[in-house]
Amino acid sequence: MPTSCVELWQIGHVLNGLYLIKGASQVETVYCDFSKTSTDAGFETWIGFADVKSSSVYFYVQRNTTYSTNNTVVPFEITRTNVGNAMDPLTGIFTAPRPGKYFFGYSGIADVTQGTNFARVDLQLNGVRIAQGYSHTTHDTFAHQSTLELNKGDQITLFLVAGAIHDSRYLYTNFVGWLVEEDVFNFNV
């Protein structure tokens, strides 16, 4: 794939216009003015990044029952959407199908009926805590959002460290994620 207007010109392009080129890790858009020489100002004008994804990846899952099994990955009973099938709601494991930048957000409330009045929920990357949501009073909300750079095969989970997550038919526990920007030139990373 060409990396500049010069390379486009070398392979025979002569019409002025917008072109896609290979950047460092993304596809970029440039304007090439072939009426100028390659050393003239304005021969190549950088426009921006092209939002190229080999396929869409996003999910939204929920719980509808209280969860109190400490030191475990939180599973989910309801799947609102799971485009790309990267989220396994029964195990609570999201597996990145391709390298890139992903956004994740979760929220819930602590439960008092399980003998506690708090909940500590970690967002984990490959089993290691990278963020934490904590609620220290009954029915207090916990939440966290993260944008992460993931490699293909990396796993994201919500992990109940201590306490209990309250839920019911009102669906207090929500977990979402999506591929924001794919690293299209590192397919095997």
71 and 161 in a single domain? The answer is: yes
78 domain-assigned: yes
> Would residue 189 count as lying in a domain?
no
Q: What is the pLDDT of residues 90-130, one digit of tens each?
A: 999 999 999 999 999 999 998 876 667 788 999 999 999 99
Domain span including residue 132: 58-182
Express each pLDDT in 106-117 by its tens digit.
999 988 766 677
**63, part of any domain:** yes
75 and 28 in one domain?
A: no
Rounded-to-integer distance, Cα 126 and Cα 136, Å: 26
| Domain-located, residue 14 | yes
Q: Spell out where 52-140 has E strands.
A: 58-62, 72-73, 78-83, 87-88, 93-95, 100-110, 119-125, 128-135
89 in a structural domain: yes
As for how many domains the chain has, the answer is 2
Burial string for 87-120 (b: 16+ CB within 10 Å, else e) reads bbbeebbbbbbbbbebebbbbbbbbeebebbbbb
Q: Which two tokens stand for residue 65?
A: 């029952």
- Is residue 167 domain-shared with residue 116, that is, in the same domain? yes
pTM to 2 decimal places: 0.80
